[in-house]
Amino acid sequence: MAAKVSTECVVLSNGVKMPILGLGTSHHGGFSQSAVVYALRDCGIRLIDTAKRYGCEEQLGTAIRQSGVPREQIFVTTKLWPLDYGYESTKTAFKESCKRLGVDYVDLYLIHWPDCPRGKGQDNRTIRAETWRALEDLHSKGLCRAIGVSNFLIPHLEQLIQDCTVVPHVNQVEYHPYQNPKDLIKFCQAHNITVEGYCPLAKGSALKEPAITAIATRYQKTPAQILIRWSIQNGIVTIPKSTKEERIRENCQVLDFELSENDMEYLNGLHADLHMSWNPADIP
């Protein structure tokens, strides 16, 4: 029996449809080729997130082909690492990512991090603007269906919007109940920037929150499903990461229920400005 495809999407500012639920990958053991095949073929996942930094683009491309799912049905995201920032080097890095992935285009290409290598001899704002100009060119040629940034805060976005022609379509940031940056999300919404959240389980720490486990019991769901549903219900594109088939299956079963307004308010109130991953607050 064919897997039921996760069809719930958000529409980016340029009209491109992006699945609201996907599969994240990473380095340090955060990638499994067989898990990606399983997510695509058996769970109906249609959004896969990766990056040059993770070192798994080639294996991801192989997994996509092994899944049997047509390329045009899969929303592929990859990211540009800071060592490749700059106009020409960005274009070169993009071509190399496409070659490793075995694709002619990507659905979303992101600037991975707001900080820039000091050896470039320019300030961060200038390098980010040059890099973004390359992404705009790639987008205009149809090589990226959408372009965006990752880990950018309001000051970084304000500068980039002043310097760019195309406003980022997506900002991918850490997002879970302990890191719910409401001001950043409001800023993105005001500029038609879709927010995508990684680390939705707070690297597992939120799974042990007594109130979250109690909510999960009431809904007959797991704590992970409650956390992922909370993100989605807040309108955040969500990319939980797992290399285990049973966890991937569990994480996908979140589109058939809704959290109550009271439960959403409670979870929204857990924000503690706590980063489990990178914190870009001190980057100019």
Distance CA 33, CA 205 (A): 26
Q: Would the annotation count 271 as a binding residue?
A: no
The candidate with the shortest Cα–Cα distance to 181, out of 223, 231, 242, is 231
Measure CA 114 to chain center.
Answer: 15
Residue written as token pair 């798994």: 56
Distance CA 259, CA 243 (A): 27
Contact partners, residue 195, CB within 8 Å, separation at least 6: 170, 171, 172, 173, 175, 184, 185, 188, 189, 235, 236, 237
Catalytic residues: 54
Q: 62: how many CB neighbours lie within 10 A of its CB?
A: 17
Full strand arrangement of the beta sheet holding 47-49? 23-24, 47-49, 75-80, 106-111, 144-150, 170-174, 194-198, 237-238
SS3 65: helix
Which residues does the annotation place in the binding site? 112
Residues annotated within the binding site for substrate are: 112
